[in-house]
Amino acid sequence: MKDNKNIRELGLKQLEEYFENMGEKKFRAKQVYEWLWLKPVQSFDAMTNLSKELREHLKEHFSLPGLTIDTIQYSEDGTIKSRFKTYDGHFVEGVLIPTSSRYTACVSSQIGCSLSCKFCATGYMDRKRNLNFDEIYDQVALLNRLCEKTNGKKISNIVFMGMGEPLLNYKNVLKAIERITSPEGMAMSPKRITVSTAGVAKGIRQLGDDKIKFKLALSLHAANDQKRHEIMPINDSNNINTLVDALNYFYKQTGSEITFEYILFKDFNDSLKDADELIKIYRRVPADLVNIIEYNPIEFAKFEKPSEERVMAFMEYLGKHRVNARLRKSRGKDIDAACGQLANKDS
């Protein structure tokens, strides 16, 4: 690809100025902008309402480095995993999760991850680079196209729970969400978007300062520092007390919904004592929900899934103590598309 400027880095006003300066009508900018965001295309040649000369000019002066779909895998439960290829030859995965009530796109924010969480396949990969905001947008647009094709419906929800830590790619994630929620983009309500973090306290506070409107999920997975440190090295610099303070600050600034994510690991964090510690944290934060998640085994990790009886005892204990908890059944396990399994594997 040439070193030309990525045309999607330009806003509508900048495009209008550019076209006026080259003697073109101002409305051409709106046409191009719609091709870039409303009906995102992957080449200038696809902008069929522009003259051939104008398309050639754009090709000469700009780049359009969009994502392309490399492979698609279909799960028995209807989940679809897409592996996307970037302009510079990297791969990243996104998942479409259909249920009876919603169609959720699970998207990635980085190529690989630097946090090394012990239960997550992505954590065993190196972080190659952050995804640019338009690459994040492309994932959503391509998964939306796939959803329309397979289900006849648009996606209804977006979760940033794919590869990477969204708050370590803060600017691109927020810019992508701004485009996704814009009337000139997908016009999706921010209340249908959830950003999940492994616990970057500084980033959580920044979300508060930026008065964001989307939902926030914290991947807790252990309710005391000793255990959390064992499975999530980020806890060394972002311990539970620091995160509780950051979440309370975030809620005070935004009023946006907070969810705790908690994967159950056999004989590690699934006892009633663990449940007690989780309840104490839940009561320190105005959290809306605790998502209890099935563990999905990966080849690198030693963890196992608890028995169904153990899971139900944990859930019942939370319910008895008035914790709003939901057991989230994993989808797409047969194609390594479930929580914690994304690793750019070949099909």
**Residue numbers annotated as active site:** 93, 339
Tell me the C-alpha distance between 297 and 291, whole Å.
Answer: 18
Tell me the C-alpha distance between 144 and 141, whole Å.
Answer: 5
292 forms beta bridges with 262, 327
Chain-centroid distance of CA 328 in Å reads 17
- Whether the CB-CB separation of 232 and 117 falls below 8 Å is answered with yes
71 forms beta bridges with 83
Chain-centroid distance of CA 36 in Å reads 21
* CA 157-329-283 angle, 5° bins: 80
Tell me the C-alpha distance between 294 and 262, whole Å.
Answer: 9
Chain-centroid distance of CA 318 in Å reads 27
* Residue 69 tokens, joined: 């779909």
- E-strand ranges in 86-127 read 91-98, 103-106, 110-111
Helix axes 308-320, 272-284, angle to 10 degrees: 40
Q: Is 303 helix (H, G, I), strand (E, B) or coil?
A: coil
- Whether the CB-CB separation of 201 and 240 falls below 8 Å is answered with no
Whole-angstrom CA distances from 41 to 31, 47, 313 are 12, 8, 50
Residue 347: exposure state from Cβ atoms within 10 A (0-12, 13-18, ≥19): exposed
